[in-house]
Amino acid sequence: MEATSFKQPATGRNFCSTDSLPADHLQATVEEVLSTTPFIDMHTHLFSPAFGRLGLWGIDELLTYHYLEAEFFRSSEMKPERYWTLTRRDRADAIWQTLFVENTPVSEATRGVIAVLRAFDLPTESPDLDEARSFFQAQTIDGHIRKVFEMAGVRTVVMTNDPLDPEERPVWMKGVGGHSQFQAVLRLDRILWGWSNHWRQLVAQGYEVDESVSGKSIAEVRRFLAEWQARMRPVYMAVSLPYTFQFPENDVLSRLLSEAVLPSCLEFGLPLSLMIGVRRQVNPRIRLAGDAVGRADLIALENLCRDHPENRFLVSVLSRENQHELCVYARKFNNLMPFGCWWFLNNPSIVEEITRERIELLGTSFIPQHSDARVLEQVIYKWRNTRATLGPILAESYRMVCRDGGNVSRRDIERDVNRLFCANFARWTNQRAD
Ligand code: FIX
Ligand code: ZN
């Protein structure tokens, strides 16, 4: 999967006042630039067609999204154990009936399904899903992907690729051709915090490692990372970490991170993405929907950024309470790039709060959002919501520049929007931003 080039408007500001926009034109210009700038979606769980059924799309997948399953279990008498005995189709029917027929789809996730159906001119108030099902069944995946990305205003999505995933690994071992709109990421959850459960998989693949990471283990893990870097050509390495994450700690995770992963990231010129704050499986009965959030101690991040100044860290934190600290740490460490309003934060009211604070503290030196889409068509509403939320915030910021005596031109807005949604990521992943 080769690097892609991203067009970055001319850098310097043109201080010729004739270019400056009157304050009452700012909102419309911002909205126009946002809607005509194709974004990079730097974290998703989408897959290119080469991964076959690992790539989820269509109405049954949209309705059985774990965000909706969490809401379904609140409004339905059905026990999770019964729900899991149903087929995907029957689960989708149950969720449609409960959240869209018997209740008004006012939540962010239910509104998302309505937005996707509307985007394809499909009925949004039908008692059944027949018309939607036949529509999606009639699509061919390659054409559908192009159409969906166009509707979402996305040019490239970054996948989440786990080399130890039993379904995904065989696809990579067979060889995966490149796809111009999908980039790979080397996801290391099973290696880092899942080591005690997964080190034997590496032994089975011929790596001389052991549970306590002794002997040749570190060198062997680096060999593993080098082989997967060559196989996947990832744009970054990534791990999601629990809210209890501490660094440095006298444990296997800290050792693997500081002695294997961070040196390999330097060797291959890759940033490391840290997604911190999950409280995994507080209710395992509802599976993926059973994860929650915990406030993390970000001193771990401070230590990582200070003690590994050559490494670049793409960081998203799950707890609302950690957002301000993350902004402040980004002001202290220029090897830290905050990104996204992750998971339970991806709601307009919270995205607005987080984004305003980031603009006030970091200017345009952050990545406002990623979709975290698990189902292809979700990029349509997730990016529509992001554009709708960010438009007024950016316009307000520009109005304040004008109020304080400055000028803002269309070119300024184009450059800033491109920086926020393309160039910051492109530069951080060593992809040409011009
Ligand atoms: O760790 C992650 O990448 C999370 O985004 C997922 O585990 C989570 O289930 C999700 O889909 C969040 O939106
Ligand atoms: Zn994710």
Q: What percent of the chain has pLDDT over 90?
A: 94
Residue 385: closest CA among 160, 125, 119, 159:
119
- Residue located via tokens 């076959």: 52
Mean of the pLDDT values across residues 316-343?
98
Cis geometry, peptide bond prior to residue 248 (ω within 30 degrees of 0)? yes
**What number of CA atoms fall less than 13 Å from residue 149's CA on the CB side?**
21
pLDDT in tens, 34-56: 999 999 999 999 999 999 999 99
pLDDT tier at 14 (50, 70, 90 boundaries)? low
User: What's the confidence (pLDDT) of residue 432?
Assistant: 75
Ligand 1 center–CA 372 separation, angstroms: 7
Q: What is the 150 CA–ligand 1 centroid distance (Å)?
A: 24
Residue nearest to atom 5 of ligand 1 (CA): 372
Mutate to test the pocket of ligand 1, among 108, 280, 343 (most ligand atoms within 8 A of CB): 343
Of all protein residues, the one whose alpha carbon is nearest to atom 13 of ligand 1 is 343
Q: Are 373 and 46 in contact (CB under 8 A)?
A: yes
Angle among Cα 359, 365, 367 to the nearest 5 degrees reads: 85
Q: What is the mean pLDDT of residues 403-424?
A: 97
| CA of residue 110 to ligand 2 center, whole Å | 19
Question: Which residue's CA is the closest to the ligand 1 atom numbered 1?
Answer: 240
What does the alpha-carbon distance between residue 240 and residue 70 come to, in Å, rounded to a whole number? 21
Measured CA to CA in angstroms, residue 122 lies from 60, 92, 135, 158, 374 at distances of 14, 16, 8, 28, 21
Distance 43 CA to ligand 2 centre (A): 6
Give the pair of three-digit tokens for residue 202.
């590496």
Report the pLDDT averaged over residues 242-251: 97
pLDDT tens digits, one per residue of 126-181: 999 999 999 999 999 999 999 999 999 999 999 999 999 999 999 999 998 889 99
Ligand 1: atom nearest CA of 372 is 13
Q: Whose CA is nearest to atom 3 of ligand 1?
A: 240
Q: Counting ligands in written order, which one lies closest to the CA of residue 42?
A: 2
Torsion of CA 214, 218, 220, 221, to 10 degrees: 120
Place of tokens 């995907």: 88
β-pair type (237-242, 182-183): unpaired
Q: Is the pLDDT confidence value at 20 over 80? A: yes
Whether the per-residue pLDDT at 2 is higher than 80: the answer is no
pLDDT for the residue numbered 16: 59
Which one of 41, 45, 66 would you pick to mutate in the ligand 1 pocket, going by the greatest count of ligand atoms within 8 A of its CB? 45
Measured in angstroms, how far is the CA atom of residue 378 from the centroid of ligand 1? 14
Whole-angstrom distance, CA of residue 164 vs CA of residue 181 = 24
Cα 112 from Cα 62, distance rounded (Å):
9
89 CA to centre of ligand 2 in angstroms:
24
Ligand 1 pocket: which residues have CB below 6 Å?
A: 160, 240, 275, 288, 343, 372, 374
Helix H, strand E, coil C: the string for 111-138 is: HHHHHHHHHCCCCCCCCCCHHHHHHHHC
Mean pLDDT of all residues in 216-239: 98
